[in-house]
Chains A and B, each alone.
Chain A
Amino acid sequence: MSEIAPSTTDAPILRSENLRKSFGPIEVLKGIDLDVKRGDRIAIIGGSGSGKSTLLRCLNFMELPTGGKVFLEGERIGTVRTARDGSQSVTYSERELMSVRRRVGMVFQQFNLFPHMSSIENVMEGLVTVMRRPKSEARARAAHELERVGLSDKLDVYPGRLSGGQQQRVAIARALAMDPEVLLFDEPTSSLDPELVGEVLRTILTLAEDGRTMLLVTHELGFAYRFATHVIYLYDGVVHETGTGEQIFRNPQKEKTRAFIARSSEFSL
């Protein structure tokens, strides 16, 4: 039975093979294999410097990988060129990366909202500039996305007048407006005051109920446990242990994973 070809819904929507990234002489990712299937919610955890943010940033090419392959819906990203001496290099066209980034959305730790645009203009921007939608249609769609994240009353407010939690929800709406096939969250609550973390996490959970495919880098282990269908523990640029939330948090098999979980939950209530 194991020889049966996977059905299309089982085929990974996003996949990396031996993904590597170096900054100068320092190798941050040392060969990551990852399969993300439709509807997966993957939490990536690990200590600082383990490469978890870099991994996320390589998946939508905010950083260009220095080795390995990334596939989006089965298609390899980048063009492989073979030099005369047989060595191969990969080049990426801006056009291709723009399309990948539109399909693989990202929410940042620092929100990165455009301060000179109101909430609704932030959410409309991609629809108008990238998708070339008429303004009226973009406005309606943006209002809908802001309603989804509970900000119907803040459409014309500028980011400077919003709380951190509200800004992050606008950023989530901005990403959702592009209809991404995969959504990446890079420590979405790390720069928030503790009492604002909840509203953002609740918003992310409602997306989980919609069956969205998501990857989340986080320090909120309790949230990762509730959120994730799969958990990846990164250590020193490699996948050290992977499994369900139950396996990783309740019954980690490897010593380093156990120690990390224990360290991270030392002062939890």
Chain B
Amino acid sequence: MGYQFDFSMVVKILPVLWRGVLVTLELWVICLAVGLVLGFFVSLARISPFAPVRLAGRSFVELFRNIPALIQLIWFFYAFPILIGAQLTPFVAAALGISLNTAAFSAEIYRSGIQSIERGQWEGAMAIGMSRADTFRRVILPQVFRRMLPAFTNRAVEVAKVTSLASVLSVHELMYQGRVLSSTYYRPLEILTTVGVVYLVMIYPMTWTSSALERRMRRKA
């Protein structure tokens, strides 16, 4: 193959890519934060003693888990405004779709985590007179976070990658910038490779930190 690599213009596009990185990070942090918090409450609904609440939690999870994320994003941008009678910016539509999607997956992580804690932990706490709420807060949840840390990391990595879908709504994040640049410079090989490497550099520290945390917790236990 006689292709002549030319990575020299990569330096020129770096400022543009950097703007994309910032938008991607913003989208990532918002969706992860909203998704983890909302997912926690959805998981509580999933294990509620009240059947209608359980059904609502279950429906939410199944809805957002079993429809492709891409469709959810496009739906929130093009369809949802018709229902509410107001146009969303691409960023808000993307953030909404990815956050709800993340909430559904995190809810399942919390739920399986909570249910994996042995009954004896509840009993040990109740036997010294602790309330259910205190038991949950002081005994169950800290163990859920430890036990589910790998699953939460996977989710965080997944969310970082899913943010690239926002490019179809013309959110100016990293993927979008990469596509625009590669068609401007006619250098898709160099530019898209660079974009891939930037994603890797952005996401890898997350994976690394998580395994370091896991190692530290294993030493403690």
Contact = CB atoms under 8 A, between A and B. Distances in A.
A105 B124 CA distance: 10
B25 interface: no
A126 B129 contact: yes
B137 to A, nearest CB: 9
Given A115-B143, A115-B221, A160-B221, A102 B121 contact: no
Interface string A113-137: 1111000000001100110000000
Given A115-B143, A158-B220, A158-B221, A130 B130 contact: yes
Contacts of A94: 131-132
A112 B130 contact: no
A101 B129 contact: yes
A139 interface: no
A101 B126 contact: yes
Contacts of A158: 220-221
A158 B128 CA distance: 19
A60 B221 contact: no
Interface string B105-137: 000000000000000110111111111101000
Contact of B143 (A60, A108, A116, A177): A116
A99 interface: yes
B123 A102 contact: no
A175 interface: yes
Chain B at the A interface: SS class: helix
A102 B124 contact: no
A262 interface: no
Counting chain A CB atoms within 10 Å of each CB, which of B121, B123, B142 scores highest? B123
A138 interface: no
B19 interface: no
Contacts of B131: 94, 98
9 contacts: A62-B127, A98-B130, A101-B126, A112-B121, A112-B127, A129-B130, A175-B127, A177-B128, A178-B129
The 6 closest A-B pairs by CB, nearest first: A102-B129, A112-B124, A126-B128, A112-B120, A106-B127, A130-B129
